[in-house]
Chain A
Amino acid sequence: MIDKRVGSLAAAVEGVRDGATVLVGGFGAAGVPVELVHALLEQGAGDLTIVTNNAGSGETDVAALIRERRVRKIICSYPRSAGSIWFEEFYRAGDIELELVPQGTLSERMRAAGAGLGGFFTPAGADSLLARGKEVRVIGGRRHVFEEPLRGDVALVQALRADRWGNLVYNKAARNFGPTMATAADLTVVQVREFVELGELDPEAVVTPGIFVDRVVEVAA
């Protein structure tokens, strides 16, 4: 029998090691798996590489991981936002490494990892500083930069509902990076607002098929 449901947030993040690369879903505050990130903070893993669109804001989620010195490196497209005080402080002090990636490239690098591809050429950023040190090739008369796949040891994702097979549906624009990140990690952990019975999710509407998911935990809204 397949049952990916786990009974606690602690069980959901069990086994994450020091030095792990962790993909964290969300765009701004929408879709951030806040409780899973806090469970990871509690769990204690450090020296992490965090892959996420923004670098957290205020005192919660990724900002809290940074504040508690658990993050060695962050790979993101837009670390600067209202309230990203902890990232900015650590960045200025040289206490965190930043790899800045155009947003579409960030997403596509994870897609490539999930799809078993060795990378791709994109025109995005090909004429920018972000292409420095990377292979640039002219394709169809246009400059493209080679980008490598980006794989996580762990992905932390938020969705709306899951069944015990790990099939997922999301809510509105909180979907954002979730479906791609779910495909791109060795261990995909998802927090959902509710579990439903197998067969209850409309198969035409399942966004992430359970094959991409390892653990689901229920966190009531």
Chain B
Amino acid sequence: MTISPLSHTGMAARVAQDIPDGSYVNLGIGMPTLVGDVVSAGKEIVFHSENGILGMGPAPAAGEEDWELINAGKAPVTLVPGGSFFHHTDSFMMMRGGHIDVTVLGAFQVSAQGDLANWATDDAHLPPAVGGAMDLAVGAKRVLVLMMHTTSDGRPKLLPECTYPLTAAQVVDRIYTELAVIDVTPDGFLVREMVEGLTRDELERRTAAPLAYADEVTVLAPPVR
């Protein structure tokens, strides 16, 4: 049987399914921003942007860009009715102070203890840059990681210990990849969902840390919206 990995949009939609109505949510740069495009219209979710926006809306129509209304990735966005602006110190109070319900972050590596490495690799050629990743990782009530299961050259990103510099220790709650949904528990990784056709052996070959399995592992499929 062939494996049918989720598309990026399918992965984002699966994450969106787990975000409760009424949540305050911060989406990291990169793939996590896709989650904003696929939340169910039936849910009222308030998106936070680290540069001082609550109630961030989708990208504006071409020609309607306001370069003083941008997201953390510096791309133009809009404000929804009820939205507000505030300064950086207040914005990071929200992030560090436990006021953000859910954050969705990309990652280079996640360890079986929930350690997160998403700000620096071992590439000494690149000047280091951290942005708001550390504040968000320690402060959000729930930290979800959305990432490909392995690196582009096939190396595992789910590891017994991170080899890249840590963003924060023991913060990740759940990981969504194109192959599986995996919880971080006090006993390590626990597989909750796997895509159709993927065997446990195959998943374990792509994962460097031991995997435990939920009593009922369900099929990971893009949710119907």
Which residues does A use to contact B, with CB under 8 Å?
27-31, 77-82, 87-88, 91-92, 98, 100-105, 107-108, 110-111, 122-130, 143, 170-180, 207
Contacts and interface: CB of A to CB of B under 8 A. Distances in A.
B18 interface: no
A128 B134 contact: yes
B87 A175 contact: yes
B68 A104 contact: no
A207 B165 CA distance: 38
A80 B69 contact: no
Contact of B96 (A88, A101, A104): A104
B139 interface: yes
Interface stretch (B6-14, B124-132, B191-199, B210-218): B124-132
A78 B129 contact: yes
Nearest to B132: A103
Q: Name the residue among A77, A81, A102, A125 with the largest chain B CB count within 10 angstroms.
A: A102
Interface stretch (B50-58, B172-180, B182-190): B50-58
A173 B53 contact: yes
Contact of B70 (A30, A81, A124): A30
A172 B87 contact: no
Interface residues of B, number: 43
Given A77-B132, A124-B138, A172 B69 contact: yes
Contact of A130 (B49, B66, B115, B134): B134
A8 B119 CA distance: 42
Given A28-B74, A31-B68, A123-B138, A177 B88 contact: yes
A191 to B, nearest CB: 14
Contacts of B101: none
Contacts of B103: none
Q: Which 8 A-B pairs have the closest CB atoms?
A: A104-B92, A104-B135, A28-B74, A127-B169, A174-B68, A102-B134, A179-B87, A103-B132
Contact of B88 (A27, A80, A128): A27
A27 B67 CA distance: 11
B87 A178 contact: yes
A103 B165 contact: no
Contacts of A173: 49, 51-53, 68-70, 85
Contacts of A101: 130
Contacts of B52: 27, 173, 175-176
Nearest to B70: A30
Interface in B75-120: 79, 85-89, 91-92, 95-96, 115, 119-120
Nearest to B53: A173
B103 to A, nearest CB: 13
B166 interface: yes
A102 to B, nearest CB: 4
Nearest to A115: B89
Instruction: Give the most central of B119, B134, B135: most A CB within 10 Å.
Output: B134
A124 B89 contact: no
A172 B168 CA distance: 31
A79 B129 contact: yes
Contacts of B128: 79-80, 98, 100
B133 A102 contact: yes
Contacts of A108: 89, 92
Contact of A103 (B67, B126, B127, B131): B131
A14 B77 CA distance: 37
A92 B130 CA distance: 18
Given A123-B139, A172-B79, A175-B52, 4 more contacts: A27-B51, A173-B53, A177-B88, A207-B87
Given A173-B52, A173-B68, A77 B87 contact: no
Contacts of A92: 125, 127
A88 B168 CA distance: 26
B68 A171 contact: yes
Nearest to A106: B88
